[in-house]
Amino acid sequence: MGTVKYQHWVPMTCGCEIEFSFDEGTDWQNVQVIAQRTDAAGNVRKTMLCANHQNVPLSDIHATIWDEHKRKEAARAYILANVSSVTQTFTNADGSTYRDFKPGITFQVTFTGTDKNRIVNVSLPGAPTGTITNSIKTAFNALLVAINPLWSGKVVLS
Ligand SMILES: [Zn+2]
């Protein structure tokens, strides 16, 4: 167990602001969300829950939001790696390459539900109609459940 560090987290997936401590040198180990504290400079740092997460206990809020982020990123990674009809290979200035969405196609995420039951809804505006077939959806769902069985039904590709 290392030194306790603090972080103020403004997630990209909702309107919460989370003040938490964790053990330095670990990968988000021993995360403790703090309702309010005053930092060394005298600034008051508060945790504020958004309307979508207002009933989640502070003990669970970090893991809840982090799980939403992981589901979103897993969905993006799956599509980039497996749905070649909407992606292409781009080349960096140094010659290395990466996979990204074709120009005009956007990876869009919206959420439905509240608290610990938010569902990640993924769509691809700009993709030709019919691109996301039922077989793609089936394979997508299988991969996400293989990553985490608790994700069953919690990421929807349309
Ligand atoms: Zn939130």
CA of 155 to the centre of ligand 1 (A): 17
Give residue limits of the domains in the chain.
4-157
CB under 8 Å to 22, separation ≥6 — which residues?
A: 4, 5, 7, 28, 29, 30, 31, 32
**pLDDT digits over 4-29, tens only?**
899 999 999 999 999 999 988 766 77
Arithmetic mean of pLDDT, 126-144: 95
**What residues are paired with 5 via a beta bridge?**
22
Arithmetic mean of pLDDT, 88-113: 96
CA of 105 to the centre of ligand 1 (A): 27
CA of 26 to the centre of ligand 1 (A): 24
Supply φ then ψ for residue 94, to 5 degrees: -85, 5
Q: What is the pTM of this model?
A: 0.90
DSSP assignments along 69-118, one per residue: HHHHHHHHHHHHHH-GGGEEEEE-TTS-EEEEEPTT---EEEEES-GGG-
Confidence band (pLDDT; 50, 70, 90) for 76?
very high
Confidence band (pLDDT; 50, 70, 90) for 158?
very high
| Per-residue pLDDT at 3 | 85
